[in-house]
Structure 1
Amino acid sequence: MTLLRDVCEHIRSKQAGPFWVTIDIWFNSRENFERFKDSLGIAPDVFEKLYNTDRESVKKIEVADFNLVKISYPRATPQGGMIERDLHSGQQCMRLLNQKLD
């Protein structure tokens, strides 16, 4: 079993404006990038489940030169709202660290 945390050099999340979050996943090698970039472990269904967002709204960009997968999704609530718990979305990537990759 391969976990996302085992094949990443770095993973971060950040705000992408008041209504979106972006998660950047840098794989630790070209081989792992090619092997896992289309894994079901980071598919839109996972974001729907983990982040309470519509899977159809999840956007994925692959940047092969950097072994990077960038995934953006709409926030469940706008940044700075009354129930906001992570204003800059810096902790959102933590939910993905133990995702099983195929």
Structure 2
Amino acid sequence: MRVAEIAKKVRSKNAGPFWVTVDIFCGSSEAYGRLVKGLPNGLLARVYGQPEQLLKRFDIPGLNVIKVSFPRPVVQGSRDDRDMHGAQWAHLLAELEIDV
């Protein structure tokens, strides 16, 4: 299944000019458990082309939310920035097929 078929919403946003945060709103504890299990840090790092040690992950079971932050490939607003608000990063994760 795709992550978007399990989660209620997947969004991404700036976390300052040097970082992006992807929020996975699971909607239920069942979906949260499936996504925590199906999205290990190594997989997330590969999806975003990051070394695993730079990935920051926050699992928030009380809210059924998973947050993942990683360095932007270029500084926000720089000449080479193609996504000023960091909104396009969510789609890479939402469309990811996982086995859960």
TM-score range, shorter chain: 0.7 to 0.9
Q: Corresponding residue for 1:36?
A: 35
How far, CA to CA, are the matches of 1:29 and 1:47 in structure 2? Answer: 21
Which 4+ residue blocks in structure 1 deviate beyond 6 angstroms?
Answer: none
Q: Percent identity?
A: 30
Q: Corresponding residue for 1:13?
A: 12
Alignment partner for residue 83 of structure 1, among 80, 83, 93? 80
The two structures, once aligned, show a CA RMSD in angstroms of 1.5
Q: CA deviation at 1:47?
A: 3.8
Alignment partner for residue 66 of structure 1, among 63, 66, 74? 63
CA gap 1:82/1:46 in 2 versus in 1, 3 angstroms:
farther
Segments of structure 1 that go 5 or more residues without pairing to the other structure are none
How far, CA to CA, are the matches of 2:72 and 2:41 in structure 1? Answer: 14
Instruction: Report the count of equivalent residues.
Output: 99
